[in-house]
Each structure stands twice: as structure tokens, then as C-alpha cells.
Amino acid sequence: MLGAYIGYTVAIYTGSFFLALIIAPILVACFGIVFEKLLLSPLYKRQDGGAYLMVTFGLAVILAEAIKLTWGADPKGVQIPEMLRGIVIVFDFPFPKYRVFLIIIGVLMALSAWLFLEKTRIGLLIRAVSQNPQMVNALGTNVVFIRNLVFAIGCGLAGMGGVLAAPMVTAFLGMGSSVIIDAFVIVIIGGMGSFLGSIIGSLLVAFVLVFGAYYVPDLALAIIYLLMLIILIVRPGGLLGKEE
């Protein structure tokens, strides 16, 4: 949500959507770094998942109110750049150029994230920290920096998602909360801690939503939860996750 609003402001002042697409994620990432340093890092020693949940939820509420005070309650429209306006014809049906752009960006970002996590040294360290931070720390790696970096990247990607979503749904209060449930379902279906699982989960959820809305619109939302339920029964750890 913050990304969408910052993107809106940058687009208004600079007249460039692409500049907004660069600046907003950087600013949101910086915000993420500060938040992680000030509020999350003191909680790491407590090993209490509930504390993270409460702090991040509290921040989301404060952030929503801060956005309301800064930008007002009315929604903000972000215009698509001229070169991404219009349609292409796919199987005799119009398909917006902007959605083609979103698909390309989505694939590129997923591929980049996968390469970063799987093929770089820092990606290896991130995976190691997620599994055993004490051991990584004992081996001389700066775990604090790794955690800060991961949080910044996550916030930056969320910021980019906000900027990209704004022309489709406009920037509005509460746009972040509507994504949380979908993200939760995707991670559960894909399996906690599995990057590939999340990608498969997101594609599955998207397919079920689209086909559900087409063939059984009244049950479109229920079907994704049904899918999650079936997967949890068959594979309690998710499609590619490990059972605890």
C-alpha cells in the first residue's frame, strides 16, 4: 500500500510511471530497513513468533492511519504510461498490453529472486540463516546484516507490487490487507519455506480463481480454500514444504 501511494506521488511529480517503479521500491525498502532495525531486531532473541505477528500487525494499522493522514481517504488513480496502453489480440480476444507487461515483470522478478537465492553466495547465506542462524553466526557471518537485507528486499518487492497494482485497482486504503489472505493461502499451498512451492501455489490459486469465476462465480472464493484444505489433508506441509 505504501508503495502504491509513494508511486502515485512520484508519478504525479515526475510524470513518469517508470521512475515511480524504481523510486517507490527503494523508499519502501529503506523504510523496511529502519523498521527492522528499530522494532524487529530486538525481538529476535525472544524466539517468539507471536511477538513478530503483533508488531507487524500493529505497524500495518499505524501505517494505514499515517497514509490516511498524509494522502487523505480518497483513492488515488495512477495512469498507465502511453506505451503500455491499448490491447493485443490473443485467440480473438483483446488482452491489455499492461497485463502483458505485468506478466513479463512477474516472470523476471520470480526468475531473479530464484537465481539470487539459489546461485549467489548471499542467497546461500540467506537460506542458511533461515535454517540455523546461530551456526551461521558462529561461522563468522553477520546475521544481523543478512536479516536486514532480506527484510529490505521483501519490502522493496512489496513496494514494487503496490506500484504495479495501482493502475489496475487504484491506490486506496486497505489495498494491502486484501493481499494478505491470498499470500497466506499461496504460502500454505506451496509449503512454508519453499520458493518454488510459492510459485506453484500462486499459479494454482490464480487458475482456480479465474476458472472458478468463469464457470462457478458464486463459489470462486470458496474454491481456493477448498483447494488449500485438500492439499493440507493430502500433504500437511504443503506441495513442496517439509512436514514438521
Show the site string, 101-140: x = touches other proteins by CB under 8 A, - = not: ----------------------------------------
State how far the Cα of 168 lies from the Cα of 155, in Å rounded to an integer. 20
Q: Which helix (H) or strand (E) holds 89?
A: strand 87-90
Q: Contact between 73 and other proteins (CB under 8 A)?
A: yes
Q: What is the DSSP letter of 38?
A: I
Helix axes 220-234, 177-190, angle to 10 degrees: 30
Which residue's C-alpha cell is 480463481? Answer: 209
Contact between 31 and other proteins per CB under 8 A:
no
169 belongs to the binding site for other proteins (CB under 8 A): yes
Any contact of residue 79 with other proteins (CB under 8 A)? yes
How many degrees, rounded to 5, is the angle at CA 5 between CA 195 and CA 88? 65
Taking residues 50 to 69 in sequence order and writing x for each that binds other proteins by CB under 8 A, - otherwise, the string is --------------x---x-
Residue bearing cell 490487507: 177
Q: Which is nearer to other proteins, 139 or 210 (CB)?
A: 210
108 contacts 160 by C-beta, under 8 angstroms: no
Which three cell numbers, joined as nine digits, stand for 48? 517468539
Among 11, 28, 172, 241, binds other proteins (CB under 8 A): 172
Q: How far is the CB of 201 from other proteins (least distance, A)?
A: 17
Question: Contact 41/35 with Cβ under 8 angstroms?
Answer: no
Residue 76 or 127: the one with the smaller Cβ distance to other proteins is 76
In eight-state DSSP terms, residue 92 is T
- Residue 87 as a binder of other proteins (CB under 8 A): the answer is yes
Name the one residue in this structure whose C-alpha cell is 497494482.
Answer: 165
* Of 3 and 238, CB closest to other proteins: 3
The amino acid that residue 195 corresponds to is: F
Give the integer Cα–Cα distance in Å for 100 and 109: 14
Letters for 203-232 (x = contact with other proteins by CB under 8 A, - = none) are ------xx--xx--xx-xx-----------
Q: How big is the site for other proteins, counted in residues (CB under 8 A)?
A: 37
Positions that interact with other proteins (CB under 8 A): 64, 68, 72-77, 79-80, 85-87, 93-96, 98-99, 165, 167-170, 172-175, 178, 209-210, 213-214, 217-218, 220-221
